[in-house]
Amino acid sequence: MNTQQLMCFVCVADRLNFTKAAEELFLSPPTVTHHIQTLEAELGTPLLIRNSKMVRLTEAGRGFYNDAREILAKIEIAQKKMHDAAHTAVRLFHIGCTSSTELQYLKPPLRALERQHPGFNPIVHMQDYFSLKKMFEAEQLDIMLCTRDMIHKLHNCEFHPVAEAGLYAVVAADSPLANKPTLHFADLQDQRLLTLHPKQVPFESSSRLRDWIIDHGLNHMDIHCESDRSGILLAECGYGVALFPEFYTQDLPDTLVRRPFEPDMGALTFGVACRKQGKDQYVKEFLAEFPTQR
């Protein structure tokens, strides 16, 4: 496996067209085809399905696509690091988060560190909780955006709280539920629930909520959503009531409203996690610039 093969595969996967990919890479279509066939032979599985009318990724191809892009990105960063090594100190700064919604909180610290450190290179890893936990334990992350529940069992982990987030129910604006200022378990007893998959936000501290969601799902076709945005989309399309932490329910479309759900149950504490030992100046400056919402 080499970079040329990976570049050919990623370019074809992006364009779904061998001719256009070849033009972009300044190669001939047969050369692109050869590189991809060699890559498939090395991996022992087809990555693309192609005929005279279409090109599409196989299941294995979709899985390998992100890995290939990450490998190429790391190679590019490594090349840049070597090129700039004589002129400036390069620091790869790995940030983990579970949702694109969380990216907005990264703007202040990233802007500040970009101005202060020319060699600062942030890499954002958007993964599920279990993947981020493994990366953190393997010291592959400098910073992780998370809830307190997500990290309370992690070794050598330091948590910096940023905001308290209650649970909100996202309902259709024309629903009778929208007329209530606060919603409770009984209000949603006959509703289909749209909840985040536990791998995104584990509710370990609230057994009452967890048990209720499990019991509710036994009698309803509830949906575990892979992301907060997909849950909001399904709620907007009438598939049920989304039950999400507050910071995932902002900037809703006009057809949806949010209502506090069981406010007496307690809030999730959202914040930033880092290692207790080994914090360098970049981590300290990142934490100092991270926005706090009270």
CA distance 4 to 69: 12
Please state, in angstroms and rounded to a whole number, the distance separating the CA atoms of residues 167 and 164. Answer: 10
Helix axes 3-15, 29-43, angle to 10 degrees: 110
Residue 64 lies in a domain: yes
pTM above 0.75, yes or no: no
Q: Are residues 158 and 283 in the same domain?
A: yes
Task: Say yes or no: 179 and 251 in one domain.
Answer: yes
Same domain for 134 and 278, yes or no, is yes
Q: Write down the pLDDT at residue 294.
A: 46
With respect to residue 98, please indicate whether it lies within any of the assigned structural domains: yes
Q: Are residues 239 and 274 in the same domain?
A: no
Find where tokens 């959202």 sit.
270
Task: Please name which of 234, 112, 236 lies closest in space to residue 174, comparing C-alpha atoms.
Answer: 236
**How does pLDDT run across 203-228, given as a tens digit for each residue?**
544 567 778 888 888 888 999 888 88
- The segments of the chain whose pLDDT lies below 50 read 204-205, 294
Are 205 and 262 part of one and the same domain?
yes
Give the CATH number, domain containing residue 58.
1.10.10.10
Q: What's the pLDDT at 33?
A: 93
Cα(223)–Cα(239) distance, integer angstroms: 9
Amino acid present at 31: T
CB crowding 91-120: b at 16 or more within 10 Å, else e: bebbbbbbbebbeebbeebbebbeeebeeb
How far apart CA 173 and CA 171 sit, in angstroms, is 6
Q: How many domains does the chain have?
A: 3
Domain boundary among 28, 63, 81: 81
What is the rounded distance in angstroms from the CA atom of residue 202 to the CA atom of residue 184? 20
Any domain includes 294: no
**Residue count of the chain:** 294
132 in a domain, yes or no?
Answer: yes
pLDDT given for residue 293 in this prediction: 58
CATH of the domain at 156: 3.40.190.10
Residues 110 and 29 in one domain: no
| Domain co-membership, 149 together with 274 | yes
Handedness of CA 242, 248, 249, 252 (dihedral sign): negative
Cα separation values, 276 from 77, 144, 156, 176, 222, Å: 27, 13, 5, 48, 39
In the listed set 55, 81, 107, which residue is the last one of a domain according to the structure?
Answer: 81
What are the strands, taking DSSP E only, across the chain? 48-50, 55-57, 91-97, 120-126, 143-147, 157-165, 167-172, 193-196, 223-225, 241-245, 256-260, 268-275
Asked if 16 and 100 sit in the same domain, the reply is: no
Long-range CB pairs of 20-28, under 8 A, 24+ apart, other chains included: none
Question: Do 278 and 202 share a structural domain?
Answer: no
| Amino acid, single-letter form, for residue 68 | A
pLDDT at 52: 80
Q: Is 184 helix (H, G, I), strand (E, B) or coil?
A: coil
| Residue-level pLDDT at 205 | 46
- Domain housing 154: 88-162+270-289
Query: Quick one: 245 and 175 in the same domain?
Result: yes
| Any domain includes 29 | yes
Looking at 81, 111, 145, the residue that finishes a domain is 81
The verdict on 184 and 226 lying in the same domain is yes
Q: Are residues 262 and 274 in the same domain?
A: no
**252: three-class secondary structure by DSSP:** coil
- Asked whether residue 157 is domain-assigned, the answer is yes
What DSSP assignment string belongs to 186-224? GGGTTSPEEEE-TTTS--TT-HHHHHHHHHHHHHS--EE
